[in-house]
């Protein structure tokens, strides 16, 4: 567990100076390998994602979903392969917002909601610069967009789980992020709070989304593209092309039960391992 993390690692240069290639996809990954010591977490991951796409990253616990998001954010180094965001390595941008799992954050950290959302402005402020009135206005507008305008002075630990996720989204909005990476944003939330988060994601304009999820039903019905992982890419594309019995069996093995339904295959996934990317 860590203190409230920065939106992304501090960029090597200002976002305004990181030129985007207009002919490149929002995300291009080629032959990506990531390891934890001797254990391979991701192997030969390759795919392109156009700007504005909404991608659900699915797979069993330990499949590499969190690892993939952290590698794209520049938090984890790549053993081999390449990642390009709008044609440029991720470290050259502040247009990438990484929203961690709530369990990875120390919610006792004494910071207010406004201060946490203002962290999204850090890269645009530059070193040793204090927020100015336009920055404060952007933060207040971001809080209003996620219905937290009246929670700004509260400590982050006093928020409900759904409000904490909405605060993270407000920080991404204040950052003016173009690529938003969300690691299990629906975990531990009730159905109503989950729907609130999903609606807010749908309202993010001109934003490329990569969302790690466990719920295959939500992934299939609420996202444009699915990426099915188990260290390697087992499927990429529309849900009908990815969530096939053979690919699901390859991904989940014995922890997956599939039941024939009137309109297709009803998937029942029994998660027997806790802790994303920590299972053998």
Question: What confidence score (pLDDT) does residue 197 get?
Answer: 96
Largest CA distance in the chain: 61
Count CB neighbours of 127 within 10 A. Answer: 7
Evaluate whether residue 257 is within a structural domain: yes
Evaluate whether residue 275 is within a structural domain: no
Question: What confidence score (pLDDT) does residue 279 get?
Answer: 45
CATH at 21: 3.40.50.300
Evaluate whether residue 112 is within a structural domain: yes
Give me the number of domains the chain comprises: 1
Question: What confidence score (pLDDT) does residue 7 get?
Answer: 55
The C-alpha atoms of residue 86 and residue 50 are separated, in whole angstroms, by 9
Evaluate whether residue 9 is within a structural domain: no
Of 245, 8, 266, whose CA–CA distance to 119 is shortest? 8
Domain extent for 117:
15-269
183, 99 in Cβ contact below 8 A? Answer: yes
119, 4 in Cβ contact below 8 A? Answer: yes
Evaluate whether residue 68 is within a structural domain: yes
Evaluate whether residue 6 is within a structural domain: no
Question: What confidence score (pLDDT) does residue 205 get?
Answer: 74
5-29 burial code (b ≥16 CB/10 A, e <16): bebbbebeeebeebebeeebbbbbb
pLDDT < 50 stretches in the chain:
9-17, 274-280
Evaluate whether residue 279 is within a structural domain: no
Evaluate whether residue 4 is within a structural domain: no
Question: What confidence score (pLDDT) does residue 2 get?
Answer: 56
The C-alpha atoms of residue 245 and residue 50 are separated, in whole angstroms, by 27
Task: Tell me the pLDDT tens digit for each residue of 102-148.
Answer: 888 989 888 999 999 999 998 787 666 788 999 999 999 999 999 99
Using the structure block, give the residue that is written with the tokens 């960029």: 11
Count CB neighbours of 53 within 10 A. Answer: 17
């Amino acid at each position: 567990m860590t203190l409230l993390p920065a939106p992304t690692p501090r960029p090597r240069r200002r976002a305004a100076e990181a030129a985007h290639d207009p002919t490149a996809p929002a995300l291009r990954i080629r032959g990506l390998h990531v390891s934890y010591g001797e254990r391979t977490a991701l192997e030969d991951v390759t795919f392109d994602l156009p700007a504005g796409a909404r991608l659900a990253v699915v797979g069993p616990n330990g499949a590499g979903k969190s690892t993939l998001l952290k590698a794209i954010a520049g938090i984890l180094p790549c053993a081999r392969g390449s990642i390009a965001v709008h044609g440029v390595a991720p470290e050259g941008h502040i247009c990438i917002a990484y929203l961690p799992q709530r369990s990875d954050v120390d919610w006792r950290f004494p910071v207010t909601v406004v201060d946490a959302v203002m962290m999204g402005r850090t890269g645009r402020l530059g070193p040793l610069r204090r927020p100015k009135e336009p920055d404060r206005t952007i933060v207040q507008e971001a809080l209003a967009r996620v219905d937290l305008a009246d929670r700004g002075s509260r400590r982050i630990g006093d928020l409900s789980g759904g409000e904490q996720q909405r605060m993270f989204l407000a920080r991404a909005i204040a950052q003016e992020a173009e690529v938003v990476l969300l690691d299990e944003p629906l975990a531990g939330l009730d159905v109503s709070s989950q729907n609130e988060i999903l609606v807010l994601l749908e309202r993010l304009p001109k934003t490329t989304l990569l969302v790690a999820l466990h719920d295959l039903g939500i992934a299939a019905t609420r996202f444009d593209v699915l990426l099915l992982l188990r260290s390697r890419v087992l499927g990429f594309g529309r849900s009908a092309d990815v969530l096939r019995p053979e690919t699901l069996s390859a991904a989940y093995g014995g922890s997956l039960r599939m039941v024939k339904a009137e309109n297709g295959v009803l998937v029942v996934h029994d998660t027997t391992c806790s802790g994303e990317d920590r299972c053998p």
